[in-house]
Amino acid sequence: MATSSVSIKHLDLNFGATKVLKDLNLEIGQGEFLVLLGASGCGKSTLLNCIAGLLEVSDGQIFIKDRNVTWEEPSNRGIGMVFQSYALYPQMTVRGNLSFGLKNARLPKDEIDRRVARAAEILQMENLLDRRPAALSGGQRQRVAIGRALVRDVDVFLFDEPLSNLDAKLRADLRVEIKRLHNQLKNTMVYVTHDQIEAMTLADRIAIMKDGLIQQLADPHTIYNKPANKYVADFIGSPAMNFFDGELLGDTFTSGNLKVPLKAYEFTEGGAAGGKVWFGVRPEHVFIRDQAEAMPVTAEIEVEIFEPMGSDTLIYTTLAGQNFHFRVEGQEIVAVGDKMKIGFDPARASIFDQATEQRV
């Protein structure tokens, strides 16, 4: 049985009259990399602060390593935390930053030196130890911040949007580094971000949050292919999913002149009741020209706008009287007004009830 490393039970958090987290339950397994993903204001950072003990919960319990830490101080919870703005102590050297927590814990000096040396080795910053944060680049600072969590020798790492302050290239580099670190240390990591690429690439499981509730908790593959509701479907994927407003009748979806047979579509338990639905197609699941012929559903469209992005090109058009966009190979030569045949497979689509916005 996989023991749970962090376990959150019926957690409520209110700021005055505002309910930020509502009866939230979450089990995070030992060694798991869990990403909390959501737009700003969804409560993901708040949840992380609750786990860290930096915010007092209004109701509910938090267990770390099967120990109830709901009333514990942050330093006694067995967590290390990495912040978006690095939060390095500016007047201390890197070594001072790394050892500050250990000195507070009154560890013997040789133990402190040993741990600092180990963290510096893992993060490859032995030559930076005597510098001050002001003399470091953004990536180096964030590495020190990770090191500060590392030296604490804890079971759970908490990351609060650690890469959001870095430029795109550094972000990609450090993302890989964090993943490597996780493979090496096998600690439990809880990672907050609003960046879906970070979430998809790093996570064992993603928890998508909105308005203080977890919308879906699943592995990245499931989240991408079988989003539980329209919000998740819309949030994950760039460019965003297309949604057709239409009606479900038996095994056919109808929207204007577009008729989609749904023989191959996997309905959820008790789904396919019929009625008004959203029919979602990912832009990258649309094929053109020859490849389109092989698809169960085909249509003729006219290019209205196109955005070449190098590796691929995004085409905007109208289908069944509604806006529609899809991705084609970047080498494809297109021009405004081109007519082309497109096709997609309804088995890879997602259908959501318009009333509940849940997957059917």
Partner 1 sequence: MSDASVNLRALDGPSGPKPKKMLSRRNIILYGTLIMIAMYYLVPLYVMFMTSLKGMPEIRVGNIFAPPLEITFEPWFKAWGTACTGLNCDGLSRGFWNSVRITVPSVIVSIAIASINGYALANWRFKGSNLFFSILIFGAFIPYQVMIYPIVIMLREMGLYTKLSGLVIVHSIFGMPILTLLFRNYFTSLPEELFKAARVDGAGFWSIYFRIMLPMSLPIFVVAVILQVTGIWNDFLFGVIYTKPDNYPMTVQLNNIVNSVQGIKEYNVNMAATLLTGLVPLVIYFISGKLFVRGIAAGAVKG
Footprint of partner 1 (CB under 8 A): 49, 52-54, 73-76, 79-81, 83-91, 100-101, 104-105, 148, 152, 160
CB of 30 to partner 1, least distance (A): 21
Helix (H, G, I), strand (E, B) or coil at 108: coil
CB of 47 to partner 1, least distance (A): 15
CB of 164 to partner 1, least distance (A): 12
Residue placing its CB nearer to partner 1 in the complex, 44 or 282: 44
At 122, phi and psi to the nearest 5? -60, -40
CB of 21 to partner 1, least distance (A): 18
CB of 101 to partner 1, least distance (A): 3
Residue placing its CB nearer to partner 1 in the complex, 86 or 344: 86
Query: Using CA atoms, how far apart are residues 243 and 265, in angstroms rounded to an integer?
Result: 16
Residue placing its CB nearer to partner 1 in the complex, 51 or 328: 51
**Which of 260, 306, 259 has the alpha carbon at shortest distance from 283?**
306
Residue placing its CB nearer to partner 1 in the complex, 71 or 89: 89
| β-bridge mates for residue 21, sequence order | 13
Query: Using CA atoms, how far apart are residues 179 and 273, in angstroms rounded to an integer?
Result: 43
Residue placing its CB nearer to partner 1 in the complex, 3 or 76: 76
Query: Using CA atoms, how far apart are residues 288 and 126, in angstroms rounded to an integer?
Result: 53
Question: Taken in order 51, 53, 55, 58, is the CA torsion positive or negative?
Answer: positive
CB of 67 to partner 1, least distance (A): 17
Residue placing its CB nearer to partner 1 in the complex, 91 or 358: 91
**Which of 90, 16, 13 has the alpha carbon at shortest distance from 52?**
13
Q: What distance lies between CA 309 and its chain's CA centroid?
A: 23
Q: Rounded to a whole number, what is the largest CA-CA distance in the chain?
A: 76
Query: Using CA atoms, how far apart are residues 175 and 207, in angstroms rounded to an integer?
Result: 18
